[in-house]
């Protein structure tokens, strides 16, 4: 059985009792970074062995984990923060498990995009999650151009070292709209900023971007 287990996106106490029980009972925990996940397992006295499963070994490791599942092992799949498969490794293994007719279940919990949407004050009845935009500016602008007519709330993830470049592209393509920026959700320096994109650019030009960012926009001016 494969267990897809959500883990905290910041605060270590944001984990369900069922997630703790599952991580204690499985034979193996597949995680992005064993050092990161070990902080969580040590906090809850979880002694289950860990194995790395991340972007650069995903293809080979998914096959190895599939074989263990076929042998009857119970494996928990976790990511560094949040729910596996949501802008994180996991999709390949989940698809393999489904394609091979093996059992799989989810232990739901934190997801950064939903937490940020709750904080944003933007319409939440219908939304679009874009994850991380392309790294290269040309591809990024092209994707943003494709979204210019989008009327639903749009949600993006961004890293601190690409934040300003992404905001510059949004300013040009979307004509400097209102934006909500949520940073370091559930952590000590959690911050929610609402302004125009140009004002946000000025803010993070003066204050070095740090942490993980969720950007939210709604272009429906009706």
48 burial level (CB within 10 Å; 0-12, 13-18, 19+): middle
Q: How do residues 2-50 score in pLDDT, each as one tens digit? A: 999 999 999 999 999 999 999 999 999 999 999 999 999 999 999 999 9
The two beta strands, 2-5 and 178-183, are unpaired
How do residues 53-107 score in pLDDT, each as one tens digit?
988 888 889 999 999 999 999 999 999 999 998 988 888 999 999 999 999 999 9
Please indicate, yes or no, whether residues 211 and 154 belong to a single structural domain of this protein. Answer: yes
- The pLDDT of residue 211 is 92
Q: What is the pLDDT of residue 133?
A: 97
Is residue 205 domain-shared with residue 118, that is, in the same domain? yes
Q: Are 81 and 8 in contact (CB under 8 A)?
A: yes
**Token pair for 142:** 């092209």
Q: Identify the pLDDT of residue 88.
A: 82
> What CATH number is associated with residue 193?
3.30.950.10
pLDDT (mean) for 173-185: 97
Same domain, 37 and 96: yes
* pLDDT of 213 over the 70 cut: yes
Same-domain status, 143 and 192:
yes
User: Does the pLDDT of residue 129 top 80, yes or no?
Assistant: yes
Residues 141 and 172 in one domain: yes
Residues 208, 118, single domain; the answer is yes
| Residue bearing the bigger pLDDT, 90 or 201 | 201
107, 135, 160: which is the final residue of a domain? 107
Report pLDDT for 64.
Answer: 96
Question: Are 69 and 153 members of one domain?
Answer: no
Residue 222 within a domain: no
We report the CATH number of the domain holding residue 28 as 3.40.1010.10
Torsion of CA 98, 61, 49, 103, to 10 degrees: 10
The predicted pLDDT at position 10 comes to 94
SS3 at position 24: helix
Domain that holds residue 50: 2-107
188 band by pLDDT with thresholds 50, 70 and 90: very high
The whole-number pLDDT of residue 59 equals: 85
- 181 shares its domain with 213: yes
The answer to whether position 43 is within a domain reads: yes
**28 contacts: CB under 8 Å, gap ≥ 6:** 48, 49, 50, 51, 65, 68, 73, 74, 75, 76
pTM for this model (two decimals):
0.93
Q: What is the pLDDT of residues 137-171, one digit of tens each?
A: 999 999 999 999 999 999 999 999 999 999 999 99
Q: Are residues 103 and 116 in the same domain?
A: no
Total domains in the fold of the chain:
2
Question: Which pLDDT score is estimated for 149?
Answer: 95
Beta bridge partners of 182: 192, 214
- For residue 221, what pLDDT is reported? 64
What confidence category does residue 220 fall into, taking pLDDT thresholds of 50, 70 and 90? Answer: confident
Q: Which of 175, 185, 182 is nearest to 219 (CA)?
A: 175
Same domain, 97 and 126: no
| First-residue to last-residue Cα distance in the chain | 48
Do 71 and 157 belong to one domain? no
Which carries the bigger pLDDT value, residue 191 or residue 220? 191
Confidence at 1, pLDDT banded by 50, 70, 90: very high
Rounded CA-CA distance 92/126 in Å is 27
């Amino acid at each position: 059985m494969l267990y897809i287990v959500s883990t905290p996106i910041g605060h270590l106490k944001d984990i369900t009792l069922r997630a703790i029980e599952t991580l204690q009972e499985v034979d193996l925990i597949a995680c992005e970074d064993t050092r990161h996940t070990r902080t969580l397992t040590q906090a809850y006295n979880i002694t289950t062995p860990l194995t790395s499963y991340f972007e650069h070994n995903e293809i080979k490791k998914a096959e190895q984990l599939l074989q263990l599942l076929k042998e009857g092992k119970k494996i928990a799949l976790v990511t560094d923060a949040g729910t596996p498969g949501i802008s994180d490794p996991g999709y390949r293994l989940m698809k393999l498990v489904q394609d091979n007719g093996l059992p799989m279940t989810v232990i739901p919990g934190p997801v950064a995009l939903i937490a940020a949407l709750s904080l944003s004050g933007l319409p939440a009845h219908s939304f679009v999650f874009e994850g991380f935009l392309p790294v290269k500016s040309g591809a990024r602008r092209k994707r943003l151009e494709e979204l210019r007519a989008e009327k639903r709330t749009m949600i993006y993830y961004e890293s601190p070292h690409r934040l300003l470049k992404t905001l510059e592209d949004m300013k040009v393509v979307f004509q400097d709209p209102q934006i909500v920026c949520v940073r370091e959700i559930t952590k000590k320096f959690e911050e929610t900023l609402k302004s125009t994109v140009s004002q946000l650019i000025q803010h993070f030009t003066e204050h070095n971007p740090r942490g993980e960012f969720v950007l939210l926009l709604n272009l429906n001016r009706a």
